[in-house]
Structure 1
Amino acid sequence: MPASLARLSVPPTARRSLNRCNLPTEALGSFAFQLTPCALSLDGVLPLHQPLFDRLDTLDSAPERTCVFRTYMNAHFMLDDAPALGLSENVRLDRSRMDYLRLLRGWLFDSEGREGAILKAWVESRFGLLTRYHRGPLGAEDSAGRSGFEQEVSAGLYSTAGLEAQVDLLYSWTQYELARRLHGRTHLQLYRGCSDPRALREMHALDDGRRVVELNNLSSFSANAERADEFGDRVFSCATPMPKILAFSGLMPGLLQGENEYLVIGGIAAITIEY
């Protein structure tokens, strides 16, 4: 494989110059990252929440770790105490209820809804990968599509309990759990169904038949090809770097009802069209 292809990354128009993790956007969004991923960490998360991970280290049971994580999230972000956040219990819409679990459930129900917009904007902020598709292609910063997207995100984040910080910790816990449950693995073979070709930007064709594409900054994949077939007339597979997984339905059994669904952070990737 030519070195120039390995260095291929998302174009400058699809990334920010700054992000909030340990790798620049050009590196984490590159084809080279898919081939040889490394751990991604978000600024300030582990130093602030180290006691949580120290406690998780002592537990061998995944359900027990889930219980400890949820209890910690409720306590740290005061998710069960709206008045402590300065929010009235008498308002028509209690924005404090828009927490990380509601975000995930909203995404699993409709990734093109408000919750999906918030999560895609979170990826922009933390990893520097811009949203390329939300209900349709998003244009430049001054385009109507981009303006509408940003307005939807702002409305969704208004008066919430540190929602983006909740997702920071969710991502870090997901990475912790993947390392515990799948020790030594670097990739997962995942599948995605796609109907709109505009959501997938092809950049190169490899000799082995795979296609190098630019994925949207956040997409749903499945561990099951038949399940992926329900969401599009074209199904492709991808060796997905585990550091690119934001969350997955098996993370909290009984709370997230997706069928083997994974939320995957984007960038350049080689895919195989299954059918």
Structure 2
Amino acid sequence: MDNNRQSEQSSQPAPSLPASARLPFNHCNLPAVILGSLTFQEHPVPLEIDGVRDFHQDLFATLAAFGRHADRAQRFQDYMTVNFLLDELDEAGLTPGRRRKSRVNANYLRMVRGWSFDSDGREGAVLKRWVESRFGLLARHHAGSLIDRNGDAYHHYVLQGTRGLYATNALEAQLDLLYTYCQYELAREHPHTLHIRLYRGINRIDEHEILETGVCGRHRVLLNNLNSFTSNRERADEFGDYILMAKVPLSKVFFYNRLLPGMLKGEDEYVVIGGAYEVCISTI
């Protein structure tokens, strides 16, 4: 009987998201093993960070009254400024006379703009650490492979992320609300839609961890926990010799260029939460 049980267990497919790529806990309505899986990619559901919508329900009630995206975006930015005292940092606890520029500007806008400039910089480390905390998906790359938790690259990543959060004004809470607002806008812009087709230029197929190779350029890959994509295939051509195309769940879009005016430099950039994905990789 024990042999039969062992045989049944060995015949079961391995999880699509390796245990080494996820945490056993997060601050989301689904565990990482589910939201990071191939099944979730195919059959996504809304993702919610614990308590954010309830705590900021007045904001979303107000946004519902605005018909234009631009008006909602302005209302959101005004709310962020007031709620997080972004223009009143002394009241937020910053010591007078010690206003280091990097700390004064360490807000949600600085983080996403820093990501667009260099996803392997300090702001990128903060965002990847935020994804780890909220969604339980471990970063796989940051200026080098992070698979070796004892390696220099991993220690540098942790140090950058820690320094980036130090003495900031509820920065992770700002990112929580940014993601939640992004999901609100996507639901209004794409009602009854679960996926968006996005592209990413790569120079080598092995830039991503290959879980399984299929036919006709189809691969199952493990993406970093946060990734830049574009909705414009021609734009993706500029960044590599191969094009990676993915059917991305809208619930895994953290933010995108048009969400707030002038937020990102790339007109069609989408920043996507990772995990296991089935993708199609083709040459240009």
Residue 75 in structure 1 maps to residue 82 in structure 2: yes
The more displaced of 141-150 and 9-18 is 141-150
Q: Does 1:55 align with 2:52?
A: no
Tell me the equivalent position of 1:118.
126
Aligned equivalent of 2:159: 151
Secondary structure of the 2:91 match is helix
Over 4 Å off, 4+ runs = none
In the TM superposition, residue 141 of structure 1 has moved relative to its aligned partner by 3.0
Give the drift of 1:198. 5.1
**1:141 maps to what in 2?**
149
Q: Does 1:41 align with 2:71?
A: no
Q: Percent identity?
A: 44
Q: Is the 8 A contact 2:204 2:242 kept in 1?
A: no
- Choose 128-137 or 229-238, whichever is displaced more: 229-238
Q: How does 1:251-262 map to 2 (within 5 A)?
A: 251-262=259-270
In the TM superposition, what is the alpha-carbon distance from 1:110 to its structure 2 partner? 1.1
Give, in angstroms, the shift of residue 144 of structure 1.
2.3
Moved more, 87-96 or 207-216: 87-96
Q: Structure 1 unaligned runs (5+)?
A: none
TM-score by length of 2: 0.91
Measure the CA separation in 2 of the matches of 1:146 and 1:113: 13
User: Aligned ranges for residues 165-180 of structure 1 at < 5 Å?
Assistant: 165-180=173-188
Q: Is the 8 A contact 2:41 2:248 kept in 1?
A: yes
Give the aligned residue type for 2:68: S
Q: Which amino acid aligns with 1:33?
A: F
Q: 2:17 aligns with which of 10, 14, 25?
A: 10
| Alpha-carbon distance in structure 2 between the residues aligned to 1:147 and 1:243 | 30
Q: How many residues align?
A: 272
TM-score by length of 1: 0.94
Letter in 2 for 1:268: A
Paired residue type of 1:13: S
The CA deviation at 1:87 is 1.1
Greater Cα shift, 80-89 or 216-225: 80-89
2:262, 2:40 → 1: CA distance?
33
Structure 2: gaps of 5 or more residues: 1-10
Q: Is the counterpart of residue 100 in structure 1 residue 100 in structure 2?
A: no
Task: Name the counterpart of 1:228.
Answer: 236
How much does 1:78 deviate?
A: 0.4
Deviation of 1:242 (Å): 0.3
Q: Cα deviation per residue 1:52-95 (whole Å; 9 max; x = unaligned)?
A: 00101111110010011001101111001111112135326231
Aligned amino acid, residue 115 of structure 2? W
- RMSD of Structure 2 on Structure 1 (CA): 1.7
Could you report, residue by residue, the CA deviation over 1:177-198 in whole angstroms, capped at 9, with x for unpaired residues? 0000111111010000123555
- 1:210 corresponds to 2:215: no
Flag the 1:208–1:196 CA change in 2: closer, same or farther, 3 A: closer
Establish whether residue 239 from structure 1 lines up as the match of residue 247 from structure 2: yes
Partner of 1:164: 172
Q: Is the 8 A contact 1:20 1:43 kept in 2?
A: yes
Residues 82 and 137 (structure 1), Cα distance of their counterparts in 2 relative to 1, 3 Å cut: same
Output the amino acid matched with 1:252.
Answer: L
Whether the 8 Å contact between 1:199 and 1:215 is mirrored in structure 2 is no
